[in-house]
Amino acid sequence: MLQGRNIALVEDDEIMGASLTDRLELEGARVTWFKTFGRALGGLRTPLRPFDVVLCDIRLGDGSGEDLFLRLCDHGTPPPFLFMTGQATADQAVRLLRSGAADYLTKPFDMAALLARLGQIISPVSAVGSALVFGPSQAARALETQMVQIALSDGPVLILGETGTGKKAAARHIHGLSDRRAAPFVAVDLSRTDAAGQENLLFGADGALQRVQDGVLVIERIGDAATQVQARLVQTIWDSQTRGARIMVTDTDEPRLRAVLRPDLFYHLNMLVLTIPPLRQRPEDIGWMLARLFDGMNARRAESLKGISLPAEDLALRHDWPGNGRELRGRLARAMAIATGDMILPAELFPEKISEGEGEFSTLAEAREQAERFQIERALARTGGGVSEAAKLLQVSRTTLWEKMQKLGLSG
Amino acid sequence: MLQGRNIALVEDDEIMGASLTDRLELEGARVTWFKTFGRALGGLRTPLRPFDVVLCDIRLGDGSGEDLFLRLCDHGTPPPFLFMTGQATADQAVRLLRSGAADYLTKPFDMAALLARLGQIISPVSAVGSALVFGPSQAARALETQMVQIALSDGPVLILGETGTGKKAAARHIHGLSDRRAAPFVAVDLSRTDAAGQENLLFGADGALQRVQDGVLVIERIGDAATQVQARLVQTIWDSQTRGARIMVTDTDEPRLRAVLRPDLFYHLNMLVLTIPPLRQRPEDIGWMLARLFDGMNARRAESLKGISLPAEDLALRHDWPGNGRELRGRLARAMAIATGDMILPAELFPEKISEGEGEFSTLAEAREQAERFQIERALARTGGGVSEAAKLLQVSRTTLWEKMQKLGLSG
DNA sequence: GCAGAATGTTCGGATTTCCGAACACGGCGT
DNA sequence: ACGCCGTGTTCGGAAATCCGAACATTCTGC
């Protein structure tokens, strides 16, 4: 899970430090262990390579982890800090979290818990290793290697995946990895026009094939290709085996293509296939995508947000994401646009789940209470705040009205 | 420091609560004190005016503050929460802060410290309110997100809402959010003419459909459409699926339309529906609308007014607003025209109320009964008449529900 | 500063509401 | 016929609500 990550460990206890180092290295991380405050300050200020996260004990022989963090903040932006301490106090936890620490664990803790928290924190854009495109899940990594292989070869490519899974992004990534990367990248969407439009879009005087030269031409929704367009595409692909552009096509699923495409076209396209699984089949990637997109959008904000609240992330991980990555990006963008606090709350990511939709139905007691509140307000307004008179209007005893006002919080 | 801020206090300890209330009110805040979990849940879910911050004890007799916060998150976006507790644990602090709480204090604390933290939480809030259209209430925010979604899609839209709720404004806002925003926006009101007039207004040589091109055509009071106009509208909408204008229609309520429109027309329109709740169902928005309109009108005045007096605002918050936003705008305009002092007084906003206490006023029992009847009817409608299930929805025993149905005459 | 009124608050008992348990009845599938 | 399920109905006790009485406190007009 922590493959290739750089982790700094600041810990003065030999036993603790050794056991943590062991375990983290077992997970594939590269651990740098600082045993004193002084060493840590130096090592973190001018790191040999950037750390993805700092695991920091608070009580050190020659200083405190808190101090370390604050000193580093004075000189720049330190990596995310995860504090661990045996003498935990709530005040300290609050102080640290509010000054930007990523997390705070009380010793003794479960190693599994630590790893889970590390996973949430670790910066999604790793400086080393292959830059992730789809995520850290097994499936996503398999995609990466497939893309590399496809980039090394040079035939037509078929990219399959539900709406919003990032088919075009995959195409662009392959293009970037290949030796055509300097050449143009052109994408056309066949579902947007009719037969004549498609033909013009692709083969016209100013069409995609003219512009793409020896770059990559991506044809989206190939399943919508009209018959005569399919015919010309077969010819084009045949030509492109020897020279010209590389053709990539995308669509949602294979059965559809098998049914709707000319057999020979389908055969040509079916050589190099990249199938992107929907987000719901690789839930490990959801948190990662959220974090990566959040960081990106947050950087472009006037006043930056602190993060995504735990309940909100929980909901996101459980959500079905029928619109996959596109939906995720959209939801996050909207949430960040309407966010009021400094964290994104569940209702901001999933407003429709909250507001009446289907879900909640207010109980009789709630409805009654609301009605009472409202009527009492009105009565008080009419009497200008006079309780006795309002009680007369409402035809209850003054005592009862007083009691209700207490209950409903209307006596302030 | 806290002048005019609304603070909710959730605290079961009498002494603590009283002293906090005193001190905060001394600072100019309006404090609403909830002494139990249950009452806080009710009061915070449907607040009379939005709270700027919630000061919340964690250990309550009938629940926990943490629970309260999470429950509120399930139903919307709660105000910033500042937790206070005597039994602080670091784990709890971390969990709460990462769930979106604004701050966490351990008792006993310095009052000065509390005020400082409150100041940090509250001060940035005043900047909110730039992008809002209908107001800051939960319901209004749900509308915003719905409008965004509608703007992203492209079918006919049905906008429902009482008179004066701002249906046309909503249509214009959707138009502004959509990619047609550069195209014309044309509105026609069907209730103003007879059948021939309607036809001419819409389809005539210089009619709305001619002028609107590929923009947005708003048809107000669609329920007044004559039969032959309805027929032509079905055709128009059918055409507009592929090209031409986007149609939006407005009316007051759905049952009316269902009864008076051709079924196929109703079906076409009923795909994208935006229902604007009346102002009285979202009282939090009243203050906001007043302030916004006041600022706007004040800027256009020769000699500017200082504001709306507190009693006047109080009255406004409690008023029923049968004419919704339009009435509010009207009253405010009149008040500003006849204002003599430098603040708007209650009598200027509600001249008729001051002169004499008008008309009937329903008692608490009546209001309660009405609310119960309404809610029971809704529950029965949802369950298709199932009494047991409805009782579960309403969270009363089957016996009680039956008893109430007898009393309210709902069993026939 | 004083009388009188309105409000804040408590208390005990009358009344109402609410609930669960029970029983009868009528569909409904098998 | 038979369970099975939901409904209509009654009943007794537990829990709440409501009320008036009472008293302290605060406000208000004079």
B364·A337 Cβ contact <8 A: no
Q: Using a 7 Å CB cutoff, list residues 322-381 of B near strand D.
A: none
pLDDT at position A357 is 39
- Residue-level pLDDT at A129: 43
A361, A372, A403: best to mutate for the B interface, most B CBs within 10 A:
A361
Q: Which residue of B has its CA nearest to A361?
A: B393
Protein CA at B397 to nucleotide C1' at C21, angstroms: 12
> Are A409 and B73 an interchain contact pair (Cβ–Cβ within 8 Å)?
no
B408 touches strand C (CB under 7 A): no
Question: Between chains, do A97 and B99 touch, taking CB under 8 Å as contact?
Answer: no
Least CB–CB distance from A351: residue in B39, B142, B353: B142
**The nucleotide closest to B411 (CA, C1' atoms):** D8
Nucleic strand C under 7 Å from the C-beta of A372: no
- In this complex, the answer to whether residue A386 has its CB under 7 A from any atom of chain C, a nucleic strand, is yes
Q: What is the pLDDT of residues A9-37, one digit of tens each?
A: 999 999 999 999 999 999 888 899 999 99
Residues of chain B with pLDDT under 70: 1, 4, 46-49, 123-132, 136-138, 152, 241-243, 310-311, 314, 318, 353-362, 411-412
Question: Between chains, do A382 and B357 touch, taking CB under 8 Å as contact?
Answer: yes
pLDDT at residue B125, rounded to an integer = 47
Spatial CB neighbours of B409, under 8 Å, sequence gap ≥ 6: none
Q: Looking at the complex, report in whole angstroms how far the Cα of residue B342 sits from the nearest Cα belonging to chain A.
A: 22
Alpha-carbon distance of A20 to B181, in angstroms, equals: 58
For A340, nearest residue in chain B (alpha carbons): B128
Question: Closest Cα of chain A to B302: distance in Å?
Answer: 32
Distance from CA of B88 to the nearest CA of A (A): 6
A399 touches strand C (CB under 7 A): yes
Q: Nearest by CB to A311, which of B39, B70, B371?
A: B70
> What pLDDT is recorded for position B412?
64
Query: With a 7 Å cutoff on the CB, does A382 touch strand C?
Result: no
Q: What pLDDT does residue A275 have?
A: 94
Quick check: A263 CB within 7 A of strand C? no
B394 to A364: CB separation less than 8 angstroms, yes or no: yes
Q: What is the 3-state secondary structure (H, E, C) of chain B?
A: CCCCCEEEEECCCHHHHHHHHHHHHHCCCEEEEECCHHHHHHHHHCCCCCCCEEEEECEECCEEHHHHHHHHHHHCCCCCEEEEECCCCHHHHHHHHHCCCCEEEECCCCHHHHHHHHHHHHHHHHHCCCCCCCCCCHHHHHHHHHHHHHHHCCCCEEEEECCCCCHHHHHHHHHHHCCCCCCCEEEEEHHHCCHHHHHHHHHCCCCHHHHHCCCEEEEECHHHCCHHHHHHHHHHHHHHCCCCCEEEEEECCHHHHHHHCCHHHHHHHCCEEEEECCHHHCCHHHHHHHHHHHHHHHHCCCCCCCEECHHHHHHHHHCCCCCHHHHHHHHHHHHHHHCCCCEECHHHHCHHHHHCCCCCCCCHHHHHHHHHHHHHHHHHHHHCCCHHHHHHHHCCCHHHHHHHHHHHCCCC
Looking at strand C, which nucleotides approach a protein CB closer than 7 A? 6-11, 17-22
- Separation between the CA of B402 and the C1’ of D13 (whole angstroms): 19
- What residues contact residue B27 under an 8 Å CB cut-off, 6+ apart? B1, B2, B3, B115
Which chain D nucleotides are covered by protein, judged by CB under 7 A? 6-11, 17-22
Instruction: Answer whether any strand D atom is within 7 A of the Cβ of B399.
Output: yes
In this complex, the residue of B106, B357, B363 whose CB is nearest that of residue A395 is: B363
pLDDT at B332: 93
Q: Strand A307-308 vs strand A343-344: parallel, antiparallel, or unpaired?
A: parallel
Identity of the residue in B93, B280, B375 whose CB atom sits nearest the CB atom of A364: B375
Of A89, A367, A407, the CB nearest to B39: A407
Q: How far is the CA of B390 from the C1' of D15 (A)?
A: 23
pLDDT the model gives residue A352? 66
Comparison of pLDDT for A142 and B380, the residue scoring more: A142
**Quick check: B46 and A346 CB within 8 A?**
no
Output the pLDDT for position B123. Answer: 59
Chain B residues with CB under 8 Å of A372 CB are: 364, 367-368
Q: Higher confidence at residue A320 or residue A131?
A: A320
Q: Is any atom of strand C within 7 angstroms of residue A359's beta carbon?
A: no
A340–B99 C-beta distance less than 8 A: no
Q: For the residues A230-257, what does the mean pLDDT come to?
A: 86
Residue of B nearest to A383 (CA): B357
Residue B357 with chain A: CB contacts under 8 Å:
382
**CB of residue A371 closer than 7 A to nucleic acid strand C?**
no
Distance from C-alpha of B222 to C-alpha of B265, rounded to nearest angstrom: 10
Helix axes A138-152, A284-299, angle to 10 degrees: 70
Residue B393 contacts strand D, CB under 7 A: no
In the numeric block, the tokens 């006079």 are attached to A386
User: What is chain A's mean pLDDT, rounded?
Assistant: 84
**B371·A368 Cβ contact <8 A:** yes
Residue of B nearest to A343 (CA): B100
End-to-end CA distance of chain A: 54
* Non-local CB neighbours of B246 within 8 Å, separated by 6+ positions: B154, B155, B156, B157, B178, B180, B215, B216, B217, B240
Q: Is there a contact between A368 and B372 if contact means CB atoms under 8 Å apart?
A: yes
pLDDT tens digit string along B69-119? Answer: 998 888 777 889 999 998 888 889 999 999 989 999 998 888 888 998 888
- If you measure CA to CA, which chain A residue comes closest to B311? A384
In this complex, the residue of A340, A346, A371 whose CB is nearest that of residue B73 is: A346
B149 CB and strand D closer than 7 A: no
Top pLDDT among A387 and A193 is at A387
Judged by average pLDDT, the poorest of A196-210, A275-289, B68-82, B127-141 is B127-141
In whole angstroms, D10 C1' to B364 CA is 30
- Asked if strand C contacts A411 at the CB level, meaning under 7 A, the answer is yes
Q: Is the CB of B389 under 7 A from strand D?
A: yes
Residue closest to B231 by CA, chosen among B206, B203, B251, B250: B203
Considering only the beta carbons, identify the residue of A337, A381, A394 that sits closest to B363: A394
Which residue from A minimizes the CA distance to B75? A354
Domains present along chain B, CATH in parentheses: 6-126 (3.40.50.2300), 138-277 (3.40.50.300), 280-353 (1.10.8.60), 364-408 (1.10.10)
Q: How far is A231 from chain B (nearest CA, A)?
A: 27
- A156: region left, alpha or beta (phi > 0 left; psi from -120 to 50 alpha): beta
